[in-house]
Amino acid sequence: MGIELMGLITILVGCVILAAPATWAFTIMVVSTVFGAAAAIGLPALGGPTVLVPSLFLVFFAIRVLMAAGEGPLLVSMQPGRAGFWLLLLTAFGLLSAIYFPRLFEGMTDTMTVERVSSTRSTIALTPLRFSSNNITQTVYALGGLVCFAAVFAYFRHAGKPEHLIKAILLLAAVDLGFAVIDVVTYFTGTEYLLSFVRTANYALLTASEKGGLKRISGTFPEASAFSEYTLVLFAVMASLWLDRVRTRDTGILSLALLVALLLSTSATALIGVGVVVPYLWTRAVLGTMRGSTGEGRPVFIAACVAIIPLAILTTFVVFPGLVDQLGDFLDEMLLSKAESQSGKERFMWNAMAHEAFLNTNGFGAGLGSARASSYILVLLSNLGIAGTALFGLFVFSILIGRSQPTSRDEDVTGATIRAAKTGLIGLLTAACISGTVYDLGLMFYILAGSVAALAGERMSVERPFPVTGSFNGFPGIRDGRQ
């Protein structure tokens, strides 16, 4: 086992955070998710996978929440009737499938899996189904997602406020944009090595590519598509908060900056994702205006989408006619011709093999971590089958139908935060359905889901439905004095 520089920093910060307010731990947990290619610990014994910074810090965050709130709120998050119950069943099913399905269906189908060819290099290859280290790593990620969901739920139910999520996401968006700018600057100045400390994961790094004459922005992620998927979530959250008139100046500026970053990332996933999120927000704005809801309407946003933006585009094309051909070639390279590219053909084969694995296992799936695809729906079907896909659907459905409208004027910020988190989830799931390759959706998915599950239910200051006797309530002075 090897510890990277970012791993040492994470451990140091994690130890300090155990004696700091829980709010600090939550903020750092949210911000740490931006390090999508920063390894904290290497595990050569398992074939070379790496533990990322957010996964390592999750351990300290969960401990800090347990110290502050006890085990009660964490267990409440997974009670029958709550969204976390479906996630618990999904994770348990995934664990069992990872252990038994690769052995039960061994050799019956071929799957696309990551094969480690050395301690620092891996490749994706078509291999007969068998148990591998991929089953272990994806199971660990699934368990981490469950812990993250429960810890975030417990944090908000015990001491967290909607404003905490808003402030954390604002900081995260600024950090993400900052690294995006640094990525572009270091690329054109030949100083890419300055970002090497956040690009240490055992991934194939595609951080120095161009498309249409533009540098494909990757930021702190291994490639542009991963950056765009992550940034799309932040844009969705920021735009939703702006629509609800929450910290209008900050959310407005960051929304615009994130949108520009998405468009400049030259990612097809980004363009399609924006094409889903913006119409969704426009529809919500129209419905908010019709209901007369405070803040939800944003007549300027509605007018811009309906008239101003199309008029501005038309005027630009009239004044600069040559731009039409350039833009057409650019979009053709990004979207229309992608299926004919080598990457597009590879992704199509992944999906074909995932579909075949689903059929060859009679709808049971090959087991969590056994197969890769280029669409999250096929990832679920090929790994977890019909049962696992249904459980995931129930979990997402129960999150998205949670109460979003405030019941009183005092809850306006809570309602806005819930709607923003849901919009972020919609953006994340949209990107995953387009290009998701593995079961793990990242900790941001569970942070937003846990926030919605906690805030959409009834507020409770201290909820202790389980016996206190024999429970771990944290250290004196930390639990009661500084939360």
Encode pLDDT of 384-409 as tens digits: 999 999 999 999 999 998 766 554 44
User: SS3 for 69?
Assistant: helix
User: SS3 for 144?
Assistant: helix
Predicted local confidence at residue 314, as pLDDT: 57
Residue 479 domain-assigned?
Answer: no
Q: From edge to edge, which strands make up the β-sheet containing 39-42? A: 2-3, 39-42, 50-52
**Residue range 413-420: average pLDDT?**
93
* Least-confidence region, from 45-49, 314-318, 449-453: 314-318
Confidence of residue 475 (pLDDT cuts 50, 70, 90): very low
- Residue 295, pLDDT > 60, answer no
Phi, psi of 369 (to 5 degrees): 90, 0
- Residue 471, pLDDT > 50, answer no
CB-CB neighbours of 31 under 10 Å: 18
- Residue 40, pLDDT > 80, answer yes
Q: Which residues contact 481 (CB under 8 A, 6 or more apart)?
A: none
Stronger pLDDT, 61 or 319, i.e. the higher one = 61
CA triple 114-115-118, angle to 5 deg: 130
Mean pLDDT (the chain, rounded) = 84
What residues are paired with 3 via a beta bridge? 41
**Residue range 91-117: average pLDDT?**
90
Residue 396 domain-assigned?
Answer: yes
Stronger pLDDT, 319 or 261, i.e. the higher one = 261
- Residue 367, pLDDT > 70, answer yes
Confidence of residue 189 (pLDDT cuts 50, 70, 90): very high
Residue in the block written with tokens 């002075």: 477
In the DSSP assignment, the letter for residue 202 is S
- If you count DSSP H runs as helices and E runs as strands, how many of each does the chain have, helices first? 17, 7
- Residue 153, pLDDT > 90, answer yes
What distance in Å separates the CA atoms of residue 72 and residue 465, rounded to the nearest whole number?
7
**Most confident of the ranges 34-38, 338-342, 477-481:** 34-38
- Between the alpha carbon of residue 133 and those of residues 38, 48, 70, the distances in Å are 20, 9, 34
Predicted local confidence at residue 131, as pLDDT: 94
Residue in the block written with tokens 């280290």: 133
Phi, psi of 322 (to 5 degrees): -65, -20
**For residue 143, what are its two tokens?**
């368990």
pTM of the predicted model, to two decimals? 0.87
What distance in Å separates the CA atoms of residue 107 and residue 79, rounded to the nearest whole number?
38
Residue 402 domain-assigned?
Answer: yes
Confidence of residue 120 (pLDDT cuts 50, 70, 90): low
User: SS3 for 160?
Assistant: coil
Q: Which element (helix H / strand E) includes 374? A: none
- Residue 464, pLDDT > 50, answer no
Predicted local confidence at residue 476, as pLDDT: 40
**Residue range 330-349: average pLDDT?**
66
Predicted local confidence at residue 347, as pLDDT: 82
Query: Is residue 2 exposed (0-12), middle (13-18) or buried (19+ Cβ within 10 Å)?
Result: exposed
Residue 79 domain-assigned?
Answer: yes
Residue 62 domain-assigned?
Answer: yes
User: SS3 for 282?
Assistant: helix
**For residue 459, what are its two tokens?**
């507020």
Residue 483 domain-assigned?
Answer: no
Total domains in the fold of the chain: 1
Confidence of residue 99 (pLDDT cuts 50, 70, 90): very high
Residue 122 in contact with residue 108, Cβ under 8 Å? no
- Residue 303, pLDDT > 90, answer no
Predicted local confidence at residue 212, as pLDDT: 65
Predicted local confidence at residue 479, as pLDDT: 43
What distance in Å separates the CA atoms of residue 387 and residue 365, rounded to the nearest whole number?
9
> By residue range, what is the domain housing residue 28?
2-456
What sign for the dihedral angle of Cα 29, 34, 40, 45? positive
**Residue range 460-472: average pLDDT?**
38
Residue in the block written with tokens 């908000």: 156
Residue 472 domain-assigned?
Answer: no
Confidence of residue 313 (pLDDT cuts 50, 70, 90): low
Predicted local confidence at residue 125, as pLDDT: 82
Confidence of residue 460 (pLDDT cuts 50, 70, 90): very low
213: left (phi > 0), else alpha (psi -120 to 50), else beta? left
Residue 478 domain-assigned?
Answer: no
Predicted local confidence at residue 124, as pLDDT: 80
Task: Tell me which residue of 369, 415, 361 sits closest to 385, measured CA to CA.
Answer: 361
Confidence of residue 370 (pLDDT cuts 50, 70, 90): very high
Query: Is residue 98 exposed (0-12), middle (13-18) or buried (19+ Cβ within 10 Å)?
Result: buried
Which value, in Å, is the radius of gyration of the alpha carbons in the chain?
23
Percentage of the chain exceeding pLDDT 70: 79
- Residue 458, pLDDT > 70, answer no
CB-CB neighbours of 275 under 10 Å: 11
Predicted local confidence at residue 296, as pLDDT: 55
- Give the distance, in angstroms, between the CA of residue 466 and the centroid of all CA atoms in the same chain: 32
